[in-house]
Structure 1
Amino acid sequence: MSKKEVETTGHSWDGIEELNNPLPRWWLLVWYACILWGIAYTVAMPAWPGIKSATAGVLGWSTRAEVAEKIASFEEMNAAVNAELAAADVTMIKPGSDVHSYGVNMGAAVFRANCSQCHGSGAAGNFGYPNLLDNDWLWGGTIDEVAYTIQHGVRNETDEARYSEMPKFGADELLTDEEIDQAVAFAMSLSDPEGDGTNLVGGTYDVELAAAGAEVFEYNCASCHGEDGTGDIYQGAPDLTDAIWLYGGDHDTVYDTVFNARFGVMPAWGQRLTQAEVNAAALYVHQLGGGQ
């Protein structure tokens, strides 16, 4: 008996014909098993997307529920220390204690999730957002003052927020353009110990204008920034004699500040975080080295 020849598929390339061999039985079985497994999976597990949600699956499994369960388990484990941290007077928490160590680690996570977007991942600040590593702190840099600022925020809509507002000397026509130029030059001269027309941050100004601006500053700015320009942290008025200028110390930037004023806002984190998280964030920020 002659061996049955395999038929071809009818395809031919350069005289080479393709044989129509059947697929291996093991391969077909695996393929059919995969199809059955896929059908079973889409029935049992969340799979098919809809307009607002996906099919839940008969097993009701959910990644969100699994994460929530893990979070709840950790919260249960840390409930006692969280309660102690929330009830504690932050000024009385001793560095090196278990509560302090836990709070600093917890505060680091709180900071990364809620504060680093403005103050930077290393807390060194950004344009318009204060550096938390130095000692130039409006509203006070002690641990309890830091905790209050985090709790209630700055210039937001809550009654307890830290609040100050600089007049818009130009936009509201409180000063003439000439007076603004004079005030700007004098303000820049306050951070120029040499008096040579270049301040500590490299901004240049007109020395003659600065001399004329002393009177403008005295009548319009000294009530907040002080006669010597060293500021008043409890009014939210920054020190104009140092090299730390939140929005920049060059002429154009200072002019814009005097003309339009600044009004930075910080959320009242006490409305979004637990008391333990607020206290933890204060501990973390304060131990970075800035403040008092």
Structure 2
Amino acid sequence: MSDEHIDKISGVSTTGHEWDGIRELNNPLPRWWVVTFYITIVWAIGYTIAYPAWPMLTSATKGVLGYSSRNEVKNELAAAEVAKGKYVTAIESKTVSEVVGDDALREFAVAAGGAAFKINCVQCHGSDTQGSNGFPNLNDDDWLWGGTAEQIQQTITHGIRFASDPDTRLSEMPAFGDIITPDQIAQVTAYIASLSGKVQTASLIEPGAKVFAENCVACHGDSAKGNKELGAPDLTDAIWLYRSDEAAIAAQIRAPKQGVMPAWGGRLGETKVKELAVYIHSLGGGE
């Protein structure tokens, strides 16, 4: 056992650790640090007595205060349900137009409808609500059956071409490949394409206008602006559900695609459908 070494300058004993001629002084810990350390020990013991702490085989110690973080979360959720209950009740009793006209209800419905959209609608319309080929963009101002809050509610409730709902939105474009000739299809395609852009063969536009007048105005109107009562799209703008190139237009005339949207009324209930309608109406494309 070596003798105790005393540092000549400070007069303090060293620990025996030495590196490169430097010795470590054996100074005692500051009293404030020692007191603080003991306080933390006492605090820890008191905490484990007061609150749930020690794990056992099938549970844990409950703590003398009876505190439970799960109960706290449960109580907070219950309080949140009570807080939003008055809004839900108000939405249940009002029309969707009245909800839109009430700032507080509209704000609540937009938040609730946005959450419902993320659960039920993003699969087709996308998380940004901009849709894709065959699935409509909900941000623009082009609505097949109208973009008022009531019209949106009707579409969500009963769907589009949803066979099991008798009140579903229903419109089907005939397959003109069985009605008119291939030449007429090429002509009317050129005419429709010319309404919103350039065409490959300008000479087909004039005869195409005659084909359109004979076969298409009943639904799309003389000006090709469409008919929201029938779900017939406006053919004069740059918004297309199945692309706007001439090949896509011709394919749709020849053998049209008929998309289907589920009826959400039975699945979500009237209140949640109202909230969805208000949310979609708030995106900026509503009327």
- Asked whether the equivalents of residues 188 and 205 of structure 1 are also in contact (C-alpha less than 8 Å), the reply is no
2:232 is matched with 237
Work out the CA distance in 2 between the residues paired with 1:236 and 1:181: 24
2:121 is matched with 115
Work out the CA distance in 2 between the residues paired with 1:72 and 1:265: 38
Deviation at 1:218, TM superposition (A): 0.8
1:281 is matched with 276
Work out the CA distance in 2 between the residues paired with 1:91 and 1:190: 35
- Asked whether the equivalents of residues 150 and 269 of structure 1 are also in contact (C-alpha less than 8 Å), the reply is yes
1:219 is matched with 214
**What is the CA RMSD across the aligned residues, in angstroms?**
2.6
Deviation at 1:108, TM superposition (A): 0.5
Deviations 1:152-183 (A, max 9, x none): 1111111111110000111xx11111111111
Work out the CA distance in 2 between the residues paired with 1:219 and 1:69: 67
2:159 is matched with 153
User: Which consecutive residues of structure 1, in runs of 5 or more, have no partner in the other structure?
Assistant: 1-39, 45-66, 193-197, 199-203
Work out the CA distance in 1 between the residues paired with 2:130 and 2:169: 21
Work out the CA distance in 1 between the residues paired with 2:133 and 2:183: 28
Work out the CA distance in 2 between the residues paired with 1:163 and 1:252: 26
Q: TM-score, normalised by structure 2?
A: 0.70
**Mapping of residues 196-211 of structure 1, within 5 Å:** 198=198, 204-211=199-206
Deviation at 1:92, TM superposition (A): 1.3
Work out the CA distance in 2 between the residues paired with 1:69 and 1:155: 44
2:190 is matched with 185
Work out the CA distance in 1 between the residues paired with 2:201 and 2:279: 43
Work out the CA distance in 2 between the residues paired with 1:70 and 1:269: 30
- Kindly tell me: are residues 139 and 256 of structure 1, through their superposed partners in 2, closer, same or farther at Cα, counting changes over 3 Å? same
2:171 is matched with 164
1:105 is matched with 111
- Asked whether the equivalents of residues 133 and 289 of structure 1 are also in contact (C-alpha less than 8 Å), the reply is yes
- Asked whether the equivalents of residues 104 and 284 of structure 1 are also in contact (C-alpha less than 8 Å), the reply is yes
1:133 is matched with 139
Matched positions, count: 220
One-letter code aligned to 2:136: P
Give % identity: 41
**Mapping of residues 253-264 of structure 1, within 5 Å:** 253-264=248-259
Work out the CA distance in 1 between the residues paired with 2:153 and 2:215: 32
Secondary structure of residue in 2 paired with 1:234: coil
One-letter code aligned to 1:108: G
Work out the CA distance in 2 between the residues paired with 1:94 and 1:275: 15
User: Which consecutive residues of structure 2, in runs of 5 or more, have no partner in the other structure?
Assistant: 1-56, 60-72
* Aligned partner (choices 176, 181, 201) of residue 181 of structure 2: 176
- Asked whether the equivalents of residues 103 and 283 of structure 1 are also in contact (C-alpha less than 8 Å), the reply is yes
One-letter code aligned to 1:189: S
Deviation at 1:133, TM superposition (A): 1.1
- Asked whether the equivalents of residues 95 and 101 of structure 1 are also in contact (C-alpha less than 8 Å), the reply is no
One-letter code aligned to 1:167: P
One-letter code aligned to 2:90: E
Work out the CA distance in 1 between the residues paired with 2:133 and 2:145: 19
Work out the CA distance in 2 between the residues paired with 1:289 and 1:88: 22
One-letter code aligned to 1:163: L
